[in-house]
Amino acid sequence: MISSSTFHVISTELVVGSFAMSGLCFLLYALCRYDLIKNKNLISITDNVAHFALMFGIIATPFAIFSGISASPGSGFSTPILVNKMFLSMTGLGLGLAALISRWKMCDSILTERKPMLIQTFSGMGASGLMLLTASAGGSFARGESLLDIFSLPYDMVILMPIAISAILLMLGLATTASALWKLLGRSTV
C-alpha cells in the first residue's frame, strides 16, 4: 500500500501529462484548420490524440483530487491555495468532460462547422490550461515556487460564493446538463 501523498503525485503526473498532450493537440488542430500549418494528415492525428489524451486525463483527475484532499495536512482546505486548486480542477474537469461528450455524441459534425469547432478547441485548451494552473498552484503550495510565478497569480485570494448562490448555480447547471444530455442521447445521429 502506498501513502496518499505518493498516490497523489502519481495521479497528478498522469493528469498533467495527459492534459498537456491534449492541449497541445487541440492547439495544433486549430492551427491546421486555419491553414497556419498545412498538413492534412495532422488534422486527423491531432483530433484523435487530443480526445484520447483528454479522456485519460479525465479518468485520472478524480483520483488526483481525492488523494490530494486526503494527503493535505489537517483539514482538506488549510490554505487558500488548496481551495483554489479545488475550484480550478473541477472547472477544468467540467470543460474537459463537455469537450469529450460533445465529440463522442456529435461525432465529426462539431469539427466540420466553424463555430462548434472553435468551441470544441476552446473547451479542450481551456481544460488543459486550468489543469496546468492547478498543477502550478500545487507547486506553489508544496515547494513555495512555480514556473507561473512570473505572472504573480493571486493564489492567496479565494472567491467563495455564499452557499445559496452556489446552490442556485448547481441547480442551474444540473438542469442545463440534464437537458443537453437528454437531447444528445435521444436524438438521431443518422
Partner 1 sequence: MFRRIRILFVITILLSLSSFTQANPGGVGDGVFDMQCGGACHGDSSLNQTSSASISVQVEGSPYLDQPISISAVISGAQLSYSGDLGIFLLTDITGHSDTPADAQWDILSDSNGGTNNYVEGKLLTGQDNFSTSWTIKPTTLTTTTFYISIHHGGDDIPYFGISQGLEIEVLPIPDNLARLSSDFTPQTTRPLGEATTVSIETEDVSSVKVEWKVEGSSINTIIANYSSEGVWEFIAPASNQPSSIQWRAILEGEGPSQTTPWFTLVAQEPPFEVDETAVYIQSFALFIFVLGFILSIQLKFSKSKTEEKQWEQTEEVLQDSPPTTPPLPDGQLPPGWTMEQWQWYGHEYLEELKEGVQ
Chain residues in the site for partner 1 (CB under 8 A) = 1-5, 62-63, 66-67, 69-80, 83, 86-87, 90-91, 93-95, 97-99, 101-102, 106, 109-110, 113, 115-116, 119-120, 123, 158, 160-163, 166-167, 169-170, 172-181, 183-185, 187-190
Helices and strands in the chain, H and E counts: 6, 0
Q: Which is nearer to partner 1, 118 or 147 (CB)?
A: 118
> What is the nearest approach in angstroms of partner 1 to the Cβ of residue 36?
23
Amino acid at residue number 96: G
Q: Which is nearer to partner 1, 42 or 69 (CB)?
A: 69
- Within 8 A by CB and 6+ apart from 15, the residues are 57, 60, 61, 64, 131, 135
- Nearest partner of 125 among 117, 115, 136, judged by Cα: 117
> What is the nearest approach in angstroms of partner 1 to the Cβ of residue 21?
21
> What is the nearest approach in angstroms of partner 1 to the Cβ of residue 15?
14
